[in-house]
Structures are given as structure tokens and as C-alpha cells.
Amino acid sequence: MNNFLTPKELSNAFIGVSKAKAGNSIIKLFVLGILAGVFIGFAAHLATTVATGWTIGGTAALFGLQKFFIGAVFSVGLMLVIIPGSELWTGNNLMMVGLMNKDITLGQLLRNWGIVYLGNLVGSIFLAWMIAKMSGLTGGTVGGTAINIAYGKIAATVDGGTSHNLMYFFRAIGCNWLVCLAVMMAVAAKDIGGKIFAIFFPIMAFVTSGFEHAIANMYFIPAGIFSKTFGGAVAASGKSVETLAALNWGSFFTQNLITVTLGNFVGGGILCAMVYWWIYVKEAK
């Protein structure tokens, strides 16, 4: 007897998963969405802490190894989402299997996505406020890292003329392609050890690669916005107050969250869910 689901069994399992998620009550979806936002936020704060201090003589040291450790610790976020249970919008892109198979309606899908996305946003910003504004943990060097992470996500540029939003759209595609594969692998595993390993490697890969996750950014960018109220954090970031004026609630949405959300949908909803539905579910139907 296999201790995991085959690709065909796994793809068909998401029909039942989609129907169960579509039938959940509004209040349960919202609370579970808040929990997922908090869980991803815990991982994001951990990653911010791990990212702090990797310099020698003022220059970045061991860049790839640093990124690997950041990705490794960030994987705890999806473990908390999947194993205790909560509702994460990016993972719920896999409900496209149920929609394509006509087991749920478009209205049911959008109802779930809307409530869960809002819950994720509330939970993430709440934790960012709690940690970056109220706990004092980001008043110094960790706060400087939080500011630099957030600023980079709304002001990053690249040589060659690629626009910021287009660049982040494609980074977001790669991210949720891997995230949804991690969710699928975790569902395929039948024991907790298997679920942990299934989650660890794809999540480590997306973070280490520099891809963009909408729900993680719901923590990272507000944490930077809250942290820039501390003089010690601003000093540690190495940026002026005038430069950091660009890091605000408006740029959070227009320079990152909207674009990354759309890219995450393409990566998870189309390139993962719809493709696996077409390969393994459509023919059986």
C-alpha cells in the first residue's frame, strides 16, 4: 500500500477539497483566512530575522547561502497553514480543479477567494503591527532589514527596460506555481513527516529563487512601513527618510500587491491547477 497518493488520485482529490472549501461558512472562512495570514507572517518575521547581519566589511556575504537559509525557515509558514489547518488564498487557487470540473460554480469560487484573501490581509497586517510596531523587535537592525525588504518590493528596478510591475508579475507566477505544487505534495503525503518534507523543498526553492508571494508581502511590506517609524531602524536600513517616503500604503498596493496577486493566480490557478485537471481529471470524466 502506497503511503502517498498517485498524481491521478491527487488531482481528483482536489474535487472534494474544492467542494468542502466552497461550502464553508463566511465566518469560518474569514477566521481561517486570518489564521493563515498570521502563520505566513510568523514565517516572514523569522525570515527577516535570519536575513539580518549577513555582511562582511559592509558588503553582502555568502549571498546564495543566506537566501537558502531564509527560504528554509520561511517554509514553516506553509507547514502551519497545512497541518493545523487554515485558509490560504494562494493555495486555494487549486480550487480551479473543482471549477473546471463543474463541481463548484464561479460564484462559489469567488466567494471563497474574496473572503479568504481579505482574512489573509487582516491577519498579516495585524501581525505586522503587533511585531513591527508594538513588540520593539524591529526597532534596530532587524527593523532595518524589514525596511529594506519592504522598500525593495516596491522600488526594485532591473537593467534592460523591464518595468517593475511586469518583473514582479513573472516572479509571482514562479512563486505560486511552486506553492501549489507544495500544497499538492503535502495533500499526497499520508503522514506528517511526508507533509513536512513535501512542503519544505518547494517553499525553500521559491524564496531562495527570489519569487514573490502575495500573502507573504501582506506581512513584509506593512512590517517595513511600521518599522520606519523607529529612528534606529531607519538608521540601520541606510536609507534617508526622504527616500523611504516612497514606502507607504499606496505603493504597497499599486507597486506590489495587485501585480503579485495576478501573477500568483496565473502560476497556481492556471499553470498548476488547470493543467493537472486537464491531464488527470478531464479524461476520466
Decide if 2 is inside a domain: no
Of 75, 81, 76, nearest in space to 36 by CA = 81
**For 148-166, how does the pLDDT look when each residue is reduced to its tens digit (9 = 90+)?**
999 999 997 766 666 889 9
User: How high is the pLDDT of residue 62?
Assistant: 78
Decide if 198 is inside a domain: yes
The answer to whether the CB of 272 falls within 8 A of the CB of 14 is no
Count other Cβ atoms within 10 Å, centred on residue 138.
30
Decide if 57 is inside a domain: yes
* Cα(175)–Cα(88) distance, integer angstroms: 14
Q: What is the mean pLDDT of the chain?
A: 94
pTM above 0.85, yes or no: yes
Instruction: List helix spans (H) across 129-191.
Output: 141-155, 164-188
The answer to whether the CB of 147 falls within 8 A of the CB of 229 is no
* Cα(237)–Cα(141) distance, integer angstroms: 8
The answer to whether the CB of 168 falls within 8 A of the CB of 262 is no
Q: Which amino acid is at 182?
A: A
Decide if 59 is inside a domain: yes
Chain centroid to Cα 80, Å, comes to: 13
* Cα(34)–Cα(37) distance, integer angstroms: 5
Decide if 128 is inside a domain: yes
Q: In the predicted model, what is the mean pLDDT of residues 259-284?
A: 94
Residue 284 has pLDDT above 80, yes or no: no
User: How high is the pLDDT of residue 283?
Assistant: 72
Beta bridge partners of 226: none
User: How high is the pLDDT of residue 158?
Assistant: 65
User: How high is the pLDDT of residue 160?
Assistant: 62
> Lowest-pLDDT range, 28-37, 55-64, 108-117?
55-64
Give the number of domains in the chain. 1
Decide if 212 is inside a domain: yes
More confident residue, 59 or 187: 187
* Cα(88)–Cα(117) distance, integer angstroms: 7
* Cα(73)–Cα(71) distance, integer angstroms: 6
Beta bridge partners of 110: none
* Cα(173)–Cα(47) distance, integer angstroms: 21
* Cα(6)–Cα(110) distance, integer angstroms: 29
CATH of the domain at 123: 1.20.1080.10
Range of the domain at 262: 7-281
* Cα(215)–Cα(203) distance, integer angstroms: 13
Decide if 122 is inside a domain: yes
Residue 1 has pLDDT above 80, yes or no: no
Decide if 1 is inside a domain: no
